[in-house]
A and B are shown apart, each in its own frame.
Chain A
Amino acid sequence: METTVTAEAGSLTAPVPPASFESFFDIERVRLRRALVILTGNAEEADEVLQDAFIAVWERWDRVEAMDDPTGYLYRTAMNTYRSRLRRAARAARRAVGAAHGGDMFAAVDERDVVARALASLSPRRRLAVVLTEVLGYGSSEAGAIMGVADATVRRLAQEARRDLRRALEGGDDD
C-alpha cells in the first residue's frame, strides 16, 4: 500500500503522523526499499537493511511517532544501519580473507547496464547523496540531516556523483 502522506519528494517538512507503526511501515516501505536497492546494489541486502531499520524504529515507536519527522528518523536509521553493515563487512573480510568480498553487487548483477556499473564505482557516501537528492528528491539540508553531514557536504557529494554518472552515460550507453 502506498499513500501520498510522505511519498512525494520534498513533503518531509510537513509530514502527517501515521496512526500506527503498521501504517507507517506500509507508507514508507516501498520508497525506502527502492532507495536501498540503489544504495546497496543488492535486493537481498536492501531487504535486510530495511528490516533492520524498521525493527529499530518499531522498538522505539512510542518515541519515534512523537517526533516531528518520523520518516527522516527512519532514513537516518537505515543509512546508519547500512554504514554499520559496511564496517562489519570490512571486519569480516579481514578476519576471513577470501571468504567475503567488499565489492558491489551491481556489476555482477547487471554487467550490461551502464548506470548500474556507474553506481558501483561510486563511494557509498556519493551514492547515498545522489539517491537522497535525485531519486528521493530531498533538498540538501534534509539529505544532510539524514546523512548527518552539512548541507555543503551533501551538495559536493551529489555533484561528484552526478559528474561520475554523467561521464558514464556519455562514455557509452550500451543498454
Chain B
Amino acid sequence: MTEQLRERLASLGDRGGDAPTFEQLRKVRSRRDRARRVSALVVAVMVAVAGTSVAWVATRGGGTGSQPIATPPAEPEIPTIWPEAWGRDDLAAVTAAQAQADDLVANVLWRIEPDLVVQRFTTRVLGWTDASIRLVEESPGRVIYATDPCGPSTGCDAAEGLTVWLVQPARVGGDGIWSVQAVVSDRLDVGVEPMDPVAGLGAGTLEMFLDLPAAVSAHVGIRAWNGCTEASAFDIGLPAGPATLDVPEPGAPTDTCGDLGAGYLFAYATDDTTVPVGDPLLEAAAIEFPWLTVVPVYVVMERGPSATATASPTAHTASATPEVLTVSCYGDQRTTVGPRVIAQPDGVHLLIEGTDAYVEVRIDGAFRRIEDAPRELVLPLPPGQHAVDCILPGASQVADPQSFEVIDPEGHWLDPTIDCATPDSADFDTGPIAVDGDPADELLSAGEGILRFRFDAPPGSFVFGGYPGSRQERTVVLVDVEGSVIGIVTFSNYGEQWFPGSYSYCSGGADI
C-alpha cells in the first residue's frame, strides 16, 4: 500500500473533531450506571407486579399450642415492615403506584438506593430531620445500617441509636427495590430476634424487657393479617423492666384464609407526658428518643386443623425470570419450574431432570431422548410460547404439554426467516469449515463467501440470524438496506466441526 493512501486513511480518521475527554467519559459512565439502576428497578417492579397480583393469603402451617413461639414455615416469605408491611400491603400495588409516578427519579429511585430508604424511614417514621446513617454490614440482598438523630447539621452528639435491616423483596440480578425489614433498639427487647427465621407466635404471653430511664414509657403491640382479618394486641404506658404482651387467641378456621398471618411486633418509647398513637409505622408517634423496635413475625390466626402445613410458602414470592428452565420428569409427574425463561446468546437453556434410565422430552413436537439426566439442553427456540412434556419409559401416551415462554430482553434472537415468498435454494458442499476457537468470524466469513455466489455485490450486511452464539447451528443472513433478509445459509455443528447446509436467497427481491 502506498504511503499516500496510508496518509489519506489517517487523515480520514482525524475528521469530526477531537476524541472525547476523560471527563466526558466519566459523565457518560455515570449516566449509564444510573440508567441501569433505574432499568433494573422497573424490571423489579414488573416482577413484583407479576408475582404478587393477588391478595396475600397465608396458607402456612404453624403451631397452635399455648406456647407463644410457634413453628415458623420452612421457607418464609420475604418479610418487610416499611414502606409496605408484609401481610397487610400488596408489594406490587405499592411499587407499581410508585413506578407510575411522573417523576420516576424522585418517586422511585430512592427505593433502589438503600441509604435513601433508611433516610426516608428516619424522616417519615421517626420524624428525624437530619439523621446520621452509617453502613454496618452488606451482603447480597440485605444491608444493615446504624442510624441516630444527630446528623451533621444538628450539632448534637448521639449516645445511642438504632439498627435498621434492609432487604430486597423484589430483585433482579444484583439490583432491586429495598424495604425495611426490621429496626431494633437495644433498649427495647421484644423477645424475638429480627433476623431469619421469622418467629411464629401462637397464643400465649410474650415476655419482653424494656431498658428505659425514668419518666419514659414504652408502648408495645402486635399486628398481623392473613388476607381476611387482622389480629392485634396493644399495651401502652409500660414502665422500665420486664413486660409482657398477650398474643391474640386464634379464631375459628375458615375455608379461604390461612392459619398464619404475617405482620410485625413493635415497641417504642415516649416521655410520660406524650400520648401514644398506636402503630408507629402508620401514625406519627412522636418518638423523641431513638428507641424503636419493629420486627416481622407470623401469628397463628386460625385454630387447627393444620391441613395446609405442607402448602408451598413461596406461592407469591417475586423472583427473577431464570436463565435456565428446569423440566422435571419424575414418575407420573411432569412439571416445568417457572412460566418463562430468558434467552441467552447461545439459545434457550433447559435443564432436564429425571430419575429413570432415560426420559424423552417433546419440545414443540420434536422428541429428544435424554440418557443421562439431569442434563442441560441449549436449543435455538425463538422468543414466544413453546410446549414441553416428558415421556417416561413405558408410557403409552403423551401427556398434555406444558407451555412456557421464551423472553429475549437483550435481543439476542434475530429472526432468520427469509423475506420473500418463493426463495431459490441450492446446495453448497464445501466439507467442514476450519474453525480455530470461536467459530463466529470463520462462519460469518464462510457464509458471506457462499452467499456472494448469488450476490456478487451484496446490497446489505452479513450478520448472524437465530442466536449468534449457538453451538448447534448458526445461520448467516444477508440483510438488505431495507432490513429484509434476502439470503440465508445455515451451518450445523457435528462432532466439533461445522458444515454448511443448503442456502436460500431472494432472486427477485424481497417481498416486503
Contact = CB atoms under 8 A, between A and B. Distances in A.
Given A135-B6, A153-B441, A33 B12 contact: no
Interface stretch (A10-18, A66-74, A86-94): A86-94
Max chain B CB contacts within 10 Å: which of A55, A89, A102, A134? Answer: A102
B442 to A, nearest CB: 7
Q: Is the interface of A mostly helix, strand, loop or mixed?
A: helix
B20 interface: yes
B303 to A, nearest CB: 57
Contacts of A90: 414, 461, 463, 479, 483
Given A34-B13, A50-B20, A97-B482, A169 B5 contact: yes
Contacts of A25: 22, 25
A143 interface: no
Contacts of A47: 19-20
B440 interface: yes
A37 interface: yes
B481 A102 contact: yes
Max chain A CB contacts within 10 Å: which of B19, B24, B463? Answer: B19
A100 B16 contact: no
B9 A58 contact: no
- Contact-residue bracket for chain B: 35 or more
B477 to A, nearest CB: 8
A124 to B, nearest CB: 8
Nearest to B459: A102
Contacts of B479: 90, 93-94, 102
A97 B512 contact: yes
B356 interface: no
Given A33-B19, A90-B461, A125-B445, A58 B29 contact: yes
Contacts of A138: none
B253 interface: no
Contact of A91 (B19, B414, B437): B414
B461 A86 contact: yes
7 tightest A-B CB contacts, nearest first:
A43-B16, A34-B13, A93-B483, A94-B483, A33-B19, A29-B19, A149-B441
Interface of A: 22, 25-26, 29-30, 32-35, 37-38, 42-44, 46-47, 50-51, 54-55, 58, 86-98, 100-103, 106, 113, 115-116, 119, 123-125, 130-131, 134-135, 147-150, 153, 162, 165-166, 169
Given A97-B484, A166-B5, 10 more contacts: A26-B22, A37-B12, A38-B9, A51-B28, A97-B482, A97-B483, A100-B483, A119-B12, A125-B444, A134-B5
